[in-house]
Amino acid sequence: MNKDFKKDENFFLNKHPLDEETLFLVSQTFKALSDPTRIRILNLLCIAEHSVNELAEKLDLGQSTVSHQLRFLKQLRLVKYRRAGTTLYYSKDDDHIMNLLNQAIEHATHN
């Protein structure tokens, strides 16, 4: 065992046992971030809001595929939308998750 590792209450982010709802939400968040299509969508939404059509075009995906992924991300409150006429514009809804995604991308591209 690493001698620098200390078993104390300050080592853990959460000092209390996790309840079932929190465990489920955390696992769903990581599930959302485990899909390449959802990562690509979130990456674009980190930069600016986009309509479903714009996302589909930029990602070379079908509109129904993008809509399905956005629905999943919206249920987790990772994205939100605003309506302009008949068009929905999606944007990021949670900076914590976007920071986590950004750190994962930086880690993956770090040499």
Paired strand residues for 90: 50, 81
Residue 89 in any domain: the answer is yes
Residue 66 in any domain: the answer is yes
Burial of 32 (0-12, 13-18, 19+ CB in 10 A): buried
pLDDT at 1: 47
Q: Which domain holds residue 72?
A: 20-109
DSSP H or E segment with residue 81: strand 79-84
pLDDT at 5: 47
**Greater model confidence, 64 or 6:** 64
Burial code of 63-99, b = ≥16 C-beta within 10 A, e = fewer?
Answer: eeebbebbebbeebebbebeeeeeebebebbbeebbe
pLDDT in tens, 70-94: 999 999 999 999 999 999 999 999 8
Residue 15 in any domain: the answer is no
Residue 36 in any domain: the answer is yes
pTM (2 decimals)? 0.80
Residue 72 in any domain: the answer is yes
Residue 79 in any domain: the answer is yes
Q: How many domains does the chain have?
A: 1
- Inform me whether the pLDDT recorded for 14 exceeds 60: yes
Which CATH number fits the domain that encloses residue 40? 1.10.10.10
pLDDT in tens, 23-58: 998 899 999 999 999 999 999 999 999 999 999 999
Burial of 45 (0-12, 13-18, 19+ CB in 10 A): buried
Residue 2 in any domain: the answer is no
